[in-house]
């Protein structure tokens, strides 16, 4: 898939997100979750599509998925698709680029 991103926004440093964890960041009016899966970074909206739960507090899994701590729905961090119920609506994911120690997110993609 070709991504067309005109604006990359620095969200955090690579050191801000430990491996196999997520962190929440407020940037440009977005509440984002940034995840680190074995040195690969992913970004999504932080709010679970099923309810009021922060995905950055979820369980990051090696197959590039996150499991919500509230009711255990699973989402792909690559596509946002639902991998396990009870959620039925995908989460929004954003393209990520690492430039040196900066994690950049394409918010307008």
The residues that touch ligand FES, with contacts defined as CB under 6 A, are: 48, 50-51, 53, 68, 70-71, 73, 86-87
CB of 53 to ligand FES, least distance (A): 4
Strand order in the sheet with 82-84: 59-61, 65-67, 74-76, 82-84
> Phi, psi (5° rounding) for residue 57?
-95, 0
Comparison of 18 and 86: residue with beta carbon closer to ligand FES: 86
By CB neighbour count within 10 A (0-12 exposed, 13-18 middle, 19+ buried), where does 99 fall? exposed
d(CA 72, CA 14): 27
Comparison of 22 and 104: residue with beta carbon closer to ligand FES: 22
CB of 26 to ligand FES, least distance (A): 20
Comparison of 66 and 103: residue with beta carbon closer to ligand FES: 66
CB of 93 to ligand FES, least distance (A): 16
């Amino acid at each position: 898939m070709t991504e067309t991103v005109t604006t990359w926004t620095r969200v955090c440093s690579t050191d801000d997100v430990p491996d196999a964890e997520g962190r929440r960041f407020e940037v440009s009016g977005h509440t984002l979750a940034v995840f680190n899966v074995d040195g690969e970074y992913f970004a999504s909206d932080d709010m679970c599509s099923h309810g009021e739960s922060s995905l950055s507090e979820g369980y990051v899994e090696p197959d590039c998925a996150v499991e919500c701590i509230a009711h255990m729905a699973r989402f792909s961090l690559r596509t946002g698709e639902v991998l396990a119920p009870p959620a039925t609506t995908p989460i929004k994911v954003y393209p990520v680029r690492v430039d040196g120690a900066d994690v950049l997110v394409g918010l307008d993609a």
